[in-house]
Each structure stands twice: as structure tokens, then as C-alpha cells.
Amino acid sequence: QVQLVQSGAEVKKPGASVKVSCKASGYSFTTYGISWVRQAPGQGLEWMGWISAYNGNTNYAQELQGRVTMTTDTSTSTAYMELRSLRSDDTAVYYCARKRSDYDYEGLGYWGQGTLVTVSS
Amino acid sequence: DIQMTQSPSSLSASVGDRVTITCRASQSISNYLNWYQQKPGKAPKLLIYTASSLQSGVPSRFSGSGSGTDFTLTINSLQPEDFATYYCQQSYRTPPGFTFGPGTKVDIK
């Protein structure tokens, strides 16, 4: 079965960087892209961006451009999301997710368990 | 960019009630609209995709409808496990973005 297992919680100081991993199993990793979604405490869901596991193409939310980098390691079926120049409002649970089918428009059917990133001095 | 709104932002209902949540897009998105359920401390769960298709394993009391800019999620005969927050999401422009609505919290009356 499809599983996405994320790395553990992180505590970072303002201005630092964080890199969250998402290890996929149960399917051919390069067939589907990985999206990243975050959720600040008590807030809604924010789509951060997407990476193709096939060719590494990316598309980032405009508000995160320049601070976020998404990569994949096909040898380990792992996706990574790095966020730089962290601010207190980057404190959130970060999720990786995969679309439910071959069609992008059919939504995100598989989710990781989430990684809490806390930014605090 | 496509903006998504939801109404109401929260509602109180009783077990057995019929609940309707509305989602509106700032421009036409055809039927490229998905619905998710999220419980506290858990990842979101896909309920409905392309406006009206039920995700595998989701109870049939959940249904979706709409096209263009206006969409609804209906829960028939609300069950105790349905108390959660519900989000709509547009998938019209993919990439770049899977914009989410702000959410609707359904709690117990």
C-alpha cells in the first residue's frame, strides 16, 4: 500500500533553514509527483509547491519563491522540502502528499503524517 | 490567482442532521474541485474529487455537486466521526497550485 513517512519534528531559530524528508513506498516513486502542504497552528491548509519525481520539475507557491527548494532522491524514493530564512510565522505542520491517480486534478489521495517545525528564538 | 471561499466558516449540528457546506471559486474551475476532511492532529483525507466522485472507502453519506464557480459538500445523516474540519481545493490550474479554501469546522450542537 502507498505510504509516505516523514521525518521528525524540528525546532529552529529565526533565520535558520530546515529540511523535511518524505520517504515513499508502495508504488513506483518516479511515476507521481509530490506536493507539500503546510498548516500553521489553528489555521488552514496552504499549498507550498510540487515536484515531479520523474524529472525534478518544480512549481512553488509565489509567496515562497526564493525561500523553498524541493528535491527528490530516486535511489531512496525520498522527497525533500527545504525552507530557508525561517521566520516565526513558518511555524507549522508540514505535510507531503501524492495525487490519488494519474490525473493531477483528482486531488491528493495520500498524505504523510506531518512534521512539526517550530521556529523560535 | 484563483481564490477559494467557503461558507459557513463553522457550524453546529446534531447526529443525524443533514449538513451542507458551500465552496466558491473566484473564477470558473469547471469541475476541478476536491473536498477533504481533517480531524485534529491528523493529515487531511480526500473525500470527493472532481466535484462529485467519491474517493474509495468514503461512506456514501458524503456527496458533492457543482461546477463552474459554486460547489457543495453534503453529509447526509451526520455521524459522530464526521465532526471535523472540511476543506475544498481547486485543481484547475495544476501546476501551479492546489489552492485550498479556508475550511469549515463542523462541531457538535
pLDDT at A9 over 60: yes
Task: List the single residue in A47, A62, A105 with the smallest CB-CB distance to B32.
Answer: A105
Q: What is the mean pLDDT of chain A?
A: 96
The pLDDT assigned to A106 comes to 87
Mean pLDDT of all residues belonging to chain B: 94
Mean predicted confidence (pLDDT) in B71-95: 92
Residue pairs spanning A and B at CB distance below 8 A: 77
Mean pLDDT in residue range B18-22: 98
B49/A44 Cβ within 8 A: no
What is the rounded CA–CA span in Å between residue B84 and residue B104? 8
pLDDT in tens, A56-71: 999 999 999 999 999 9
Q: Is B44 an interface residue toward A (CB < 8 Å)?
A: yes
Tell whether the model's pLDDT for residue A74 goes beyond 60: yes
Distance CA A72, CA B93 (A): 23
In this predicted structure, the answer to whether residue B95 has a pLDDT above a threshold of 70 is no
The DSSP 8-state label assigned to residue A37 in this structure reads E
Q: How much of chain B exceeds pLDDT 70, in percent?
A: 97
Q: Cβ of B62 under 8 Å from any chain A Cβ?
A: no
Q: Is B34 in contact with A108 (Cβ distance < 8 A)?
A: yes
Whether the pLDDT of residue A72 is over 90: the answer is: yes
3 state SS of A69: strand
Positive or negative: CA dihedral B5, B8, B10, B16: negative
Exposed/middle/buried for A27, CB within 10 Å: 0-12, 13-18, 19+? Answer: middle
* Mean pLDDT confidence for B67-73: 98
Question: Which residues on adjacent β-strands are paired with residue A21?
Answer: A80
B61 interface with A at CB cutoff 8 Å: no
